[in-house]
């Protein structure tokens, strides 16, 4: 007699899946491998996937039997069914990388995942923290400015999580060394995640998170700690097409149709509502620079090159 359980993948390492069984009074996790049909059908379960596990031969011989439909999935970090991503960036040490952040926000927007900006280490450079807050607030994003060292802003983001993360999957993403694991430890002390610092020689973070791991945080919600991103390569990976680019920048998307020309590229044309908004300061120049950079990459990317 088949015994099938439903759960959510909380970790995947070397083809071994950890599945947290849902719908039971006492939480338990089962380690299993996927049936051969997954490989034959070129299916790769991700952390966050809802799956069905066959335990007919006992939990020690459990196999991942079926993968349920996904709402969305990301390449980097490799995770599925996300509702929102907290994008962490440091005011200083390591130096902020707005272009990388903007690539990630664009990918999330395209997948209908809410980006939430978290500016950490504000005590190191107040001016930088405020400047970054203005950039992303203008873009329409929710922004939290905080310091794990002093505790500033921690209570505000904790209250937001308690109120808004109900039966949702969220992730913390960002460059290595910005303080993702440190913040998660502040918010959820029971996680006891390993943390690292920033290399003095390179001003870059040391990787402490090795794999995407999903942690239950109550209210039916899960939070993922993810490895720091170092590559969001639009030339190599198919995140979206050129026509989708304006829709992936909220401050540009809301002004589509206001330009003088219907086929405006929003790069530098006369009568472009976006270019004018950049000149007036309504849209941050760094955000438009990121848009232009991605436009050039996607414009020169041809389907026959894939």
Q: Give the pLDDT confidence score for residue 242 in this predicted structure.
A: 95
> What does the pLDDT look like over 260-277, one tens digit per residue?
999 999 999 999 999 999
Residue whose pair of structure tokens reads 């997954």 in the numeric block: 38
> What does the pLDDT look like over 9-29, one tens digit per residue?
999 998 899 999 987 766 789
> What does the pLDDT look like over 81-105, one tens digit per residue?
999 999 999 999 999 999 999 999 9
Work out the angle between the directed axes of helices 285-299 and 126-138 (0-180°, nearest 10): 60
DSSP string, the chain: ---EEEEEEEEEETTEEEEEE-S-SS--EEEEEE-HHHHHTT----BT-EEEEE-TT-GGG-EEEEEPPPS-EETTTTEES-SEEEEEEESSSSPP-HHHHHHHHHHHHHTT-EEEEEEE-GGG-HHHHHHHHHHHHHTT-EEEE--TTT-TTHHHHHHHHHHH-SS-EEEEEESTTSSHHHHHHHH-GGG------B-TTTS-BPP---S-EEEEEETTEEEEE-PPP----TTTS-S--GGGGGGGSHHHHTTTT-SSSTT--SSS-TT-HHHHHHHHTSS-HHHHHHHHHHHHHHHT--GGG-
> What does the pLDDT look like over 102-159, one tens digit per residue?
999 999 999 999 999 999 999 999 999 999 999 999 999 999 999 999 999 999 999 9
| Integer CA distances (angstroms), 263 to 33, 142, 252, 258, 272, in order | 50, 31, 14, 11, 10
Q: Which one is predicted more confidently, 41 or 242?
A: 242
Q: Give the pLDDT confidence score for residue 228 in this predicted structure.
A: 54
Mean pLDDT of the chain: 88
User: Which value, to the nearest 10 degrees, does the dihedral of the CA atoms of residues 254, 144, 103, 279 take?
Assistant: 50
| Integer CA distances (angstroms), 175 to 39, 95, 184, 192, 255, in order | 32, 10, 15, 20, 30
Residue 70 in this model has a pLDDT that exceeds 80: yes
Q: Give the pLDDT confidence score for residue 206 in this predicted structure.
A: 40
Q: pLDDT tier at 201 (50, 70, 90 boundaries)?
A: very low
Question: Phi/psi of residue 96, each to 5°?
Answer: -60, 145
Q: pLDDT tier at 199 (50, 70, 90 boundaries)?
A: very low
Q: Which of 230, 231, 176 is nearest to 203 (CA)?
A: 176
Q: Give the pLDDT confidence score for residue 210 in this predicted structure.
A: 56
Q: Tokens at residue 28, please? A: 């338990």
CB 8 within 8 A of CB 20: yes
pTM: 0.87
Q: What is the percent of the chain with per-residue pLDDT over 90, rounded to a whole number?
A: 68
Q: pLDDT tier at 189 (50, 70, 90 boundaries)?
A: confident
Q: Give the pLDDT confidence score for residue 207 in this predicted structure.
A: 38
Q: How are beta strands 63-67 and 29-34 bridged, if at all?
A: parallel
């Amino acid at each position: 007699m088949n015994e099938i359980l439903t759960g959510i993948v909380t970790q995947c390492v070397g083809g071994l899946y950890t599945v947290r069984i849902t719908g039971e009074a006492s939480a338990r996790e089962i380690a299993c491998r996927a049936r051969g049909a997954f490989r034959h059908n070129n299916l790769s379960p991700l952390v966050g996937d809802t799956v069905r596990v066959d335990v007919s031969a006992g939990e020690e011989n459990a196999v991942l039997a079926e993968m349920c439909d996904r709402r969305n999935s990301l390449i980097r970090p490799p995770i599925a069914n996300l509702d929102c991503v907290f994008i962490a960036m440091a005011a200083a040490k390591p130096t902020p990388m707005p272009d990388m952040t903007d690539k990630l926000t664009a990918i999330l927007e395209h997948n209908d995942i809410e980006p939430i900006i978290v500016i950490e280490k504000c005590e190191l450079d107040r001016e930088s923290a405020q400047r970054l807050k203005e950039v992303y607030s203008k873009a329409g994003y929710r922004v939290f400015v905080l310091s794990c060292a002093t505790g500033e802003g921690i209570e505000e983001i904790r209250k937001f999580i308690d109120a808004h993360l109900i039966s949702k999957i969220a992730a913390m993403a960002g460059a290595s060394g910005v303080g993702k694991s440190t913040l998660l430890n502040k918010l959820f002390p029971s996680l006891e995640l390993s943390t690292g610092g920033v290399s003095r020689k390179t001003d870059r973070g040391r990787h402490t998170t090795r794999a995407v791991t999903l942690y239950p945080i109550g209210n039916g919600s899960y939070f993922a700690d993810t490895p720091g991103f170092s590559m969001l390569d639009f030339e190599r990976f198919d995140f979206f097409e050129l026509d989708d680019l304006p829709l992936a920048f909220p401050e540009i998307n809301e002004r589509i149709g206001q330009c003088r020309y219907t086929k405006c590229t929003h790069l530098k044309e006369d009568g472009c509502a976006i270019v004018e908004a950049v000149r007036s300061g309504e849209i941050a120049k760094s955000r438009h620079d990121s848009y232009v950079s991605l436009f050039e990459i996607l414009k020169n990317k041809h389907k026959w090159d894939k």
